[in-house]
């Protein structure tokens, strides 16, 4: 059985002509000379490299749909009738609304969050730029962290360098930081991510000194791809400018042939790529020391779906360097722009990677070394996912990073603004069934009005959408935690989940359903 069908997918806006498809290649079992399309191979015939990326760029987030042998659905959550952790076992006290979903991470100067989730890195993609106000305000009013991703300064059209070739001014980065800070109330923080180009351009120096940023995230990788960050630009001059700033731009905008192809029309966009980073222990330690010397209160690290060797390096070096949070992002992840087939076919899937992480963290603890606070990422979208991830990684996992699941409510809320103005035919029936004003449509509108007063009228509706989605996750998590008898996040443990299949038990070391609590059960019977 093929776990992921190649050669046709909605993300590329392609499909097979035939119902019968060769499992491995994804090619129609009968390809007719004269077929008018529209599989990947057909379209690549005349559009070439365009078929590498999800379409339409700038208006889509994408997540791979490979069906792995084991995933988080192979874990189920334990519910108990016995006891309560973190509260008196009293029906009048131990109610699910009494569950405290707050979490914190960090070595010394800790960050608290109202809910143990935070956004993925929202960097230089058009999706992040166009929707930033919705994303940033939504995260801030929800009391969770927001990660400002890589290359934001580097692609800023108004970027200014100083005489040393370092960032002097970036209005776009300033906008991003200030938008989050406007509604920040002490919970969460904005993390600014750094890649190779950001480091060379002095982004850390700029955001720490000029914008008051307190947390820097170093980046080794992500789950969606194993190469650097990417965007597309539809201007020849813009492509030339980005190349002059040190980026890899393909096709090469300086080549006359590609300039001619762009002007003639068949070449519609150029790709800007970040460089691959390369790690070594000495260099990593020096970079952490350098960032701290610049004034960072906290330094975090994000690593991707690499094999156990690199994972071990991330964990051990984070321990040695006193990293405040290590985010471990498994495949396939989600993205604003990653090569589609790469996203589907590279990297260690989330549950495998996170199980490795627990094993390595536990081994580090047994050696008497401090274990860094951990966050898991890679395909999470709901409250049960959050609970399972926290349980699988307990006690080391403090939070779950969500990409598309927190972006989508921001985009939907933003579109509600447009529909309420009568754009695109007004409100669709999927929304108008709840009312025809923002006060009627968004059930948390009055809650936010009480929280921030009349400013609620100025909130972007995407922010209210994110607040509502986070609230749903929070309440759902409260219910699950109460059912598992955990009234505070730190009490969640690996005993609170079980494996539905023996293969899952082998991967995770979480007991198979028929083995979980067996000894305790037999003791009850035999007692």
Quick check: 258 and 266 in contact, CB under 8 A?
no
pLDDT digit string (tens) for 471-489? 999 999 999 999 999 999 9
Quick check: 224 and 348 in contact, CB under 8 A?
no
Is residue 367 scored above 90 in pLDDT?
A: yes
Confidence at residue 58, expressed as pLDDT on a 0 to 100 scale = 79
With a CB cutoff of 8 Å and minimum separation 6, the contacts of 36 are: none
Overall average pLDDT of the 121-126 stretch: 91
DSSP designation for 85: B
Quick check: 145 and 77 in contact, CB under 8 A?
no
Q: Is residue 421 part of a domain?
A: no
Confidence at residue 323, expressed as pLDDT on a 0 to 100 scale = 98
pLDDT digit string (tens) for 135-169? 999 999 999 999 999 999 999 999 999 999 999 99
Quick check: 377 and 361 in contact, CB under 8 A?
no
Overall average pLDDT of the 14-32 stretch: 93
Q: Is residue 19 part of a domain?
A: yes
Tokens of 152: 């934001």
The total of structural domains in the chain comes to: 1
Quick check: 103 and 399 in contact, CB under 8 A?
yes
The pLDDT-based confidence of 370 (bands split at 50, 70, 90) is very high
Tokens of 427: 């409100």
Distance CA 370, CA 229 (A): 32
Q: Is residue 419 part of a domain?
A: no
Confidence at residue 234, expressed as pLDDT on a 0 to 100 scale = 92
Overall average pLDDT of the 73-99 stretch: 97
Q: Is residue 501 part of a domain?
A: no
Confidence at residue 60, expressed as pLDDT on a 0 to 100 scale = 86
Q: Is residue 437 part of a domain?
A: no
Confidence at residue 343, expressed as pLDDT on a 0 to 100 scale = 92
User: How many other C-beta atoms can be found within 10 angstroms of the C-beta atom of residue 100?
Assistant: 16
Q: Is residue 423 part of a domain?
A: no
Confidence at residue 292, expressed as pLDDT on a 0 to 100 scale = 98
**Locate tokens 């965007």: which residue?**
231
Overall average pLDDT of the 21-27 stretch: 92
Confidence at residue 333, expressed as pLDDT on a 0 to 100 scale = 78
Quick check: 231 and 125 in contact, CB under 8 A?
yes
Confidence at residue 371, expressed as pLDDT on a 0 to 100 scale = 98
Is residue 311 scored above 80 in pLDDT?
A: yes
Q: Is residue 439 part of a domain?
A: no
Q: pLDDT exceeding 70 applies to what percent of the chain?
A: 100
pLDDT digit string (tens) for 445-454? 999 999 999 9
The pLDDT-based confidence of 4 (bands split at 50, 70, 90) is confident
Overall average pLDDT of the 332-340 stretch: 83
pLDDT digit string (tens) for 235-286? 999 999 999 998 999 999 999 999 999 999 999 999 999 999 999 999 999 9
Domain assignment of residue 35, given as a range: 1-52
The pLDDT-based confidence of 456 (bands split at 50, 70, 90) is very high
CA atoms within 13 A on the CB side of 334: 22
Is residue 5 scored above 90 in pLDDT?
A: no
The pLDDT-based confidence of 107 (bands split at 50, 70, 90) is very high
Is residue 405 scored above 80 in pLDDT?
A: yes
Question: Is the backbone peptide bond immediately before 395 cis, with ω within 30 degrees of 0?
Answer: yes
Is residue 380 scored above 80 in pLDDT?
A: yes
Distance CA 303, CA 222 (A): 6
Q: Is residue 408 part of a domain?
A: no
Is residue 297 scored above 90 in pLDDT?
A: yes
pLDDT digit string (tens) for 38-72? 999 999 999 998 889 998 887 888 999 999 999 99
**Locate tokens 């004269």: which residue?**
34
Cα of 260 vs its chain's centroid, Å? 38
Overall average pLDDT of the 348-370 stretch: 98
């Amino acid at each position: 059985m093929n776990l992921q069908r190649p050669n046709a997918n909605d993300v590329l806006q392609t499909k097979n002509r035939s119902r019968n498809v060769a499992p491995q290649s994804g090619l129609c079992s009968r390809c007719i000379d004269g077929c008018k399309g529209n599989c990947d191979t057909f379209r690549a015939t005349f559009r070439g490299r365009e078929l590498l990326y999800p379409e339409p760029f700038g208006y889509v987030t994408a997540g791979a749909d490979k069906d792995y042998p084991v995933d988080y659905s192979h874990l189920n959550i334990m519910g108990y009738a016995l006891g309560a952790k973190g509260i008196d076992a009293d029906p009048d006290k131990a109610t699910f609304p009494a569950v405290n979903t707050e979490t914190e991470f960090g070595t010394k100067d800790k960050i608290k969050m109202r809910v143990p989730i935070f956004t993925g890195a929202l960097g230089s993609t058009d999706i992040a730029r166009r929707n930033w106000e919705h994303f940033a305000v939504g995260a801030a009013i929800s009391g969770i962290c927001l990660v400002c991703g890589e290359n934001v300064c580097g692609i800023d059209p108004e970027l200014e360098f100083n005489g040393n070739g370092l960032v002097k001014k970036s209005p776009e980065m300033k906008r991003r930081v200030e938008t989050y800070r406007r509604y920040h109330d002490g919970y969460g923080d904005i993390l600014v991510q750094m890649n190779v180009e950001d480091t060379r351009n002095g982004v850390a120096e700029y955001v720490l000194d000029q914008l008051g940023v307190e947390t820097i995230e170093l980046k080794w990788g992500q789950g969606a791809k194993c190469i650097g960050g990417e965007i597309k630009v539809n201007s020849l001059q813009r492509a030339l400018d980005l190349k002059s700033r040190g980026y890899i731009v393909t096709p090469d905008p300086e080549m006359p042939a590609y300039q001619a192809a762009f002007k003639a029309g068949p070449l519609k966009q150029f790709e800007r790529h970040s460089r691959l980073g390369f790690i070594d222990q000495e260099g990593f330690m020096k970079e952490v020391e350098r960032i701290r010397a610049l004034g960072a209160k906290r330094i975090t690290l994000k690593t991707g779906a690499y094999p156990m060797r690199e994972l071990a390096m991330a964990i051990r070096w984070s321990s040695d360097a006193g990293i405040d949070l290590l985010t471990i992002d498994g495949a396939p992840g989600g993205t604003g722009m990653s090569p589609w087939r790469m996203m589907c076919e590279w990297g260690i899937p989330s549950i495998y990677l996170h199980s490795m992480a627990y094993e390595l963290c536990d081994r580090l603890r047994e050696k008497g070394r401090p274990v860094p606070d951990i966050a898991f990422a890679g395909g999470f979208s709901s409250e049960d996912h959050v609970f399972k991830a926290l349980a699988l990684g307990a006690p080391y996992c403090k939070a779950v990073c969500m990409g598309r699941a927190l972006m989508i409510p921001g985009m939907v809320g933003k579109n509600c603004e447009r529909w309420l103005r009568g754009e695109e035919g007004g409100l669709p029936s999927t929304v108008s069934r709840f009312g025809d004003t923002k006060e009627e449509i968004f059930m948390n509108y009055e809650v936010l009005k009480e929280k921030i007063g009349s400013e609620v009228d100025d909130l972007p509706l995407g922010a209210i959408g994110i607040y509502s989605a986070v609230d749903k996750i929070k309440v759902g998590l409260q219910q699950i935690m109460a059912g598992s008898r955990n009234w505070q996040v730190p009490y969640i443990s690996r005993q609170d989940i079980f494996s539905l299949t023996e293969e899952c038990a082998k991967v995770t070391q979480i007991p198979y359903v028929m083995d979980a609590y067996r000894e305790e059960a037999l003791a009850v019977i035999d007692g």
